[in-house]
Amino acid sequence: MNVEAGKKKKIFLICPVREVTDTEKEAIAQYVAALKKDGHSVYWPLTDTNQDDSVGLRICQDNRAAIIAADEIHIWWNGKSQGSIFDFGMAFGLNKKIVLVNYDEVPATPYKSFNNVLREIGTTKETLTPLEKFKLAALSTEEVTDDQVEGLFLEFEAGSEEELLEVIEIVEIYRPVLWQKLQKEHRERMGK
């Protein structure tokens, strides 16, 4: 999740609220749940900002206050949300640390664009620990196959028991069909 090990943070999540598919909304909810499970405080505008505002100004003011109070800004970018662009501008102006959550789903463009800016300044997967990379892959609903998650999982089998238990829990919750397959293969390798 690209947070320092053991350090609990206040995170503001910039993401679409209105221009969002059900699949994206579920993936974002899983991401928020994983951050909270790790002990972080997450401000998610969908649930934490009163969206009943006919003008939108109070929503912007509420989000600004939460962005100011946050340690980090995480962005789930789909390129459709005007509110995300506005909130990103505030976070950028406040010089907040920005983490692009769905980096692999934000294509680079051959011209200047918000996609390119986010890919440039958002913390990329290359800076993540192997466990953080695994969490992001397992929680991703698009473009990350069970085979890819399985490959990452197998890297942890020989690692520390603590990390392996965390990886097992993630797969069991977010990829249940894959979890059943991995359990069976593990039993066969162990001769059980």
pLDDT given for residue 125 in this prediction: 45
Which residues lie closer than 8 Å to 189 by C-beta, 6 or more apart? none
CB of 114 closer than 8 Å to CB of 47: no
Asked whether the predicted pLDDT for residue 169 surpasses 70, the reply is: yes
Asked whether the predicted pLDDT for residue 188 surpasses 50, the reply is: yes
pLDDT tens digits for range 123-154: 644 455 666 666 666 665 555 677 777 777 77
pLDDT tens digits for range 11-43: 999 999 888 888 989 999 999 999 999 899 999
Considering the entire predicted model, what is its pTM? 0.65
Higher-confidence residue: 147 or 48?
A: 48
CB neighbour burial string for 8-32, b if at least 16 within 10 angstroms, e if fewer? ebebbbbbbbeebeeebeebbebbb
In whole angstroms, give the CA distance from residue 19 to residue 16: 6
Residues linked to residue 99 through DSSP beta bridges, in sequence order: 74, 123
Q: Where are the domains of the chain?
A: 10-124, 145-192
Q: What's the average model confidence in pLDDT over 153-158?
A: 70
Joined tokens for residue 152? 């990452």
Class of domain 10-124: alpha beta
Joined tokens for residue 121? 């300044």
Q: What's the average model confidence in pLDDT over 144-167?
A: 72
Higher-confidence residue: 158 or 97?
A: 97
pLDDT tens digits for range 59-102: 989 999 999 999 999 999 988 888 889 999 999 888 888 999 88
Residue 2 pLDDT level (bands cut at 50, 70, 90): very low
